[in-house]
Amino acid sequence: MISTQKSRVWFITGASTGFGRKLAEAVLAKGDRVVATARKEETLADLERQYPIHGRAVRLDITDLTQVTASVQAAINAFGRIDVLVNSAGAGLVGAVEEVSDAQIRQQFETNIFGLLNVIRAVIPLLRQQGSGHILNISGMGGQVSFPLASIYHATKYAIEGISESLAKEVATFGIKVTIIEPGAFKTGFAGRSMTYAERIAAYQPVYGTMTKRFEPTGDPARAAQAMIQAVGADVPPLRLALGADALHLVREKLNSELEEYERWESVTVATAFEAR
């Protein structure tokens, strides 16, 4: 067992299920300390019972600023610091741009972006004062590769990528590291548990047909948790970490395709300069 003085303190959102849950379990098993948060605190009670010294279960709706502030304070009260912030809480939305409602769009951004920013903005002052820390933002291959019927979801994941990339440059001087986690299709139950569906318009049925059974979840969330732990332990952690062969394949394919297109249109691109006089 790692001693309390040397173990890291992890603050994990969305820890009741999926990646957040598996990561909380793995981190506690290795002897680190965890503040596991979820909207329903009782879903985390078993973790605190199993690890009464190293584990704390805290209620947190990341869209509620009062709860965000209280949960960060609870972590400080319990362990005095936060070493790793993991933004795992999130939700999905399926529907064509024409199908999704204003309320669904706003809720998607409220959870995936504004909620994430609420937590980051609450924790960064603490990490800055400590002169160290690591932020893991769980995006997904959907933060790099886009598919039909998920435009709003992709918009939030692309936003996480941009926020994280800029954030990494802002906080590096304070000893804070940032890693974007980009999982592929994992068996987390996300599609059934955290997914909202727009009311369908019949004209889009052919598009839905092309998406049926497109992604077969083959990734193991427990192994994903170990990969994240490995990234945190690295002297030079990656800015982006794809998880799953499917994610790596699709991201590589997308990047290669983009580069080819830029090069194909290079003559048009560079011809936009003022002519020399």
Burial class (CB in 10 A: 0-12, 13-18, 19+), 57: buried
- Indicate whether 52 pLDDT > 60: yes
Q: At 179, phi and psi to the nearest 5?
A: -130, 130
pLDDT band at residue 152 using 50, 70 and 90 as cut-offs: very high
Comparing CA positions, the residue from 108, 114, 115 lying closest to residue 71 is 115
Q: At 238, phi and psi to the nearest 5?
A: -75, 150
Beta carbons within 10 angstroms of residue 51's beta carbon: 20
User: What is the amino acid identity at position 190?
Assistant: F
pTM listed for this prediction: 0.93
Crossing angle for the helix pair 151-171 and 116-130, nearest 10 degrees? 10
- Indicate whether 51 pLDDT > 50: yes
Comparing CA positions, the residue from 7, 27, 10 lying closest to residue 226 is 27
- Indicate whether 5 pLDDT > 70: no
DSSP notation for 84-124? EEEE----EEE--TTTS-HHHHHHHHIIIIIIHHHHHHHHH
CATH 3.40.640.10 fits 9-245, yes or no: no
Q: Give 184's DSSP letter.
A: -
pLDDT digits (tens, 9 = 90+) for 66-101: 999 999 999 999 999 999 999 999 999 999 999 999
**27 Cβ contact partners less than 8 Å away, ≥ 6 residues apart:** 8, 10, 12, 34, 225, 229
pLDDT of residue 215: 63
pLDDT digits (tens, 9 = 90+) for 97-114: 999 999 999 999 999 999
Termini Cα distance of the chain: 73
User: What is the amino acid identity at position 144?
Assistant: Q
pLDDT digits (tens, 9 = 90+) for 207-222: 988 875 566 778 899 9
Domain-wise residue ranges, the chain: 9-245
Q: At 242, phi and psi to the nearest 5?
A: -75, 140
- Indicate whether 238 pLDDT > 90: yes
Q: How far apart, in Å, are the Cα atoms of 268 and each of 74, 257, 261?
A: 56, 18, 12
Distance separating alpha carbons of residues 149 and 230, to the nearest angstrom? 34
Distance, C-alpha 97 to centroid of its chain? 23
**159 Cβ contact partners less than 8 Å away, ≥ 6 residues apart:** 112, 113
How many CA atoms lie less than 13 Å away from 122 in the CB half-sphere?
28
93, β-bridge pairs: 196
DSSP notation for 212-267? TT-----B-HHHHHHHHHHHHH-SS--SEEEESHHHHHHHHHHHHHHHHHHHHTHH
Could you list the active site residues?
A: 139, 153, 157
